[in-house]
Structure 1
Amino acid sequence: MTPRQIGRTSGGEDATPAPETAPSSEVRSRHELAAFLRARRARLTPEQVGLPARRRSRTPGLRREDVAERAGISTAWYTYLEQGREIQPSREAVERIARALCLSGPDHAYLLTLTGHTPPSPGADHGLDPRLLQSLVDHVTAPAYVTDALTRVLAWNPPAREIFGDYAAWPTERRNLLRLLFTEPRFASRLVARDEYATRVVHTFRDRSDAHLKDPAAIALIEELSRQSNRFRQAWESTDVRRAGTDTLVAHHPDGRLTFTMIMLQDLGPAGLRINAYLPADPATTRAMETAGKPPQIGRAGAAGGLE
């Protein structure tokens, strides 16, 4: 039976081999996939997956037929993957193989990448120590915060709290920039053009990744916000995208009208982290930020360090 025939009879593997004309980068990816699968299979013992122990085996770990049976695919088709053949497995088949090999989160994501599928956006476990992210923004004297690919706010500094609001006032599961901007009127209420800023966040979210097409968490977030906010739904349905490395932000403040120039560093690390910093654009804003987050001096009225 040929690879093409196996793909048609093994129930969803979606294997469609083509002539060996792929670019060298694709060939390298297939070879890396083959080596990865063999290595992960060798790490598992039959006992670890509930199979009876074998007395003797010339090779360590599970057999190919063990993995294929656990994944619900044909042994021959799985063998072609381990041989680096030109096969394009469906995402469903890849997910079954990942479960069969008991892959960890990072290994699972890497398998999806090797097979041409987009890994899901990371959740709370973004692979970086939260203390390091917090230390990073704490060393920035201007308002700064860190978000992941789903716009979850992971760290912020006192100046950001003073301009945008106290992120800690919302539970972790709601501490998402899109959710706060479109469902929490108190958040970022000091911004002069808050609605415009919120729309820009929607458009940059669409541009910065394709998570909204494939990641179940992103799809669920978009559906939720579309139900809860007409403004979000209109901004999302516009299909506009925005890629801006710098921008201007104006905010009301007890010290007067403050103007910032935004800079961003995005797609940092495995979680698509994005660092947003708002640099003072004039001397008055610089002076106001020098005391941001500090206790007000006696006799100084209105120098609140957050939003009510």
Structure 2
Amino acid sequence: MAGATPLRALLQRDGCLTLPGVFDGISARMAASTGFDALYMTGYGVVASALGVADAGTATFSEMLDRVRCIAGATNLPFLADGDTGYGGLLNVDRTVRGYAAAGASGIQLEDQEFPKKCGHTEFRRVIPADDAVAKIRVAVEARPAKDFLIVARTDARYAEGLDAALRRAERFLEAGADVLFVESPESLEELRRVAETFKGAWLLANMVEGGRTPYLSTAELGAMGFKIALYPGSGFLTAAGALQLVYRHLKSDGIGTGSKAPMLPFSEMNELMGFPAVHAFEKRHGLSGSQHEK
């Protein structure tokens, strides 16, 4: 993380911070190269890309931790990482927070769903008792190694129990020490405004999912309401999946990879993005370039 502005310091600036969803080394490097100040490791994207299955509680702590390490190694930008439900009880939450911090994340998002959890914009989500959810946030705050490691407390109670219940839970999360409040999937502009008005002065996160349950707004619109973080977790993997569909269909029908409607990064630019110039410089410095390398 050397040279990166801590995420807490970024949130102390004026305005609303845009966090793009990243899910592997390529997406992390690409997002960093386009000038974002911070990133978000999306659970949906990680589960889809690493396991090829639905984000429905199937990923384990160790599998998610591998992606935290991957993203931390691919860029020095600070990033929030999806920690799902903490992968078990209170001891598991303690281990998860410590593990994510040691692996290079700048903060963790923890939610109050029952296990197995599901993507926050899908059906059939249930939440654990409020007291149990608050206990998880208290443990997370206690387990973090430093105050700069942020605890994002998410509630899915809007879907399961209604907005009033979600707001009550968020209030208790704030009292338990959460740094950022995340009321998942408000279903109207009025509900978004009510969240913002209820927690004026608190750091609030809004989750913008293309085709999801919440009205889809820009960072500027969310900032004007009072939100501090505008999360766009699916923009990257939805676009990547659409491009793959186009190029693979073209390859199947025409027998060649070029010429589809999908944008294709030039091979030279991909090499640059992934760090080949540094590899070549290393090899040259250590006498491994050219014919010597092949001996």
State the TM-score bracket (shorter-chain normalisation).
under 0.3
Where relative contact order (Cα < 8 A, 6+ residues apart) is larger, the structure is: 2
Computing the radius of gyration from Cα coordinates, the structure with the larger value is: 1
Q: TM-score, normalised by structure 2?
A: 0.24
